[in-house]
C-alpha cells in the first residue's frame, strides 16, 4: 500500500465520518469512516518505517592493510 492510497483512505474516512449525514440501516458510516482513517494512519506508519529502512546508508568499511600488504608496496 503506497503513501497516496493511505492518504486517500484517510480523506475518504474523514468525509464519511464528518461531512456526511447519510442514514443506512445496516451500516454505520461513522464507524466505517473511523476504520478507514485508522487503516490509513497504520499504512502511513508502516510505509515510513519501511522507507526509513530502505534509505539507511551504511558507511563504507575501510580496507584492512596487513603487514604482508605493506611489504608488497615497499
Whether residue 61 lies inside any domain: the answer is: no
The domain tally of the chain equals 1
Per the structure, the complete domain to which residue 48 belongs is given by 3-54
Report yes or no on 72 lying in a domain.
no
Residue 21 lies in a domain: yes
Q: What is the model's pLDDT at position 61? A: 75
- What's the whole-model pTM score? 0.67
Q: Helices 3-14 and 29-54 meet at what angle, rounded to 10?
A: 160
Coil, helix or strand at residue 66: coil
* pLDDT at residue number 65: 63
Neighbours of 55 (CB within 10 A): 7
In this structure, is residue 62 part of a structural domain? Answer: no
pLDDT by residue, tens only, the chain of 74 residues = 688 999 999 999 999 999 988 888 899 999 999 999 999 999 999 998 887 776 666 677 777 766 665 665 55
Let me know if residue 59 belongs to a domain. no
Rounded distance between C-alpha atoms, residue 46 and residue 2, angstroms: 10
Residue 73 falls within a domain, yes or no? no
Amino acid at each position: 500500500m503506497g503513501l497516496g492510497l493511505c492518504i486517500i483512505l484517510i480523506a475518504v474516512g474523514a468525509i464519511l465520518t464528518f461531512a456526511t449525514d447519510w442514514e443506512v440501516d445496516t451500516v454505520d458510516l461513522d464507524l466505517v469512516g473511523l476504520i478507514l482513517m485508522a487503516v490509513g494512519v497504520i499504512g502511513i506508519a508502516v510505509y515510513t518505517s519501511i522507507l526509513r529502512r530502505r534509505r539507511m546508508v551504511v558507511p563504507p568499511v575501510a580496507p584492512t592493510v596487513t603487514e604482508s600488504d605493506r611489504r608488497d608496496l615497499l
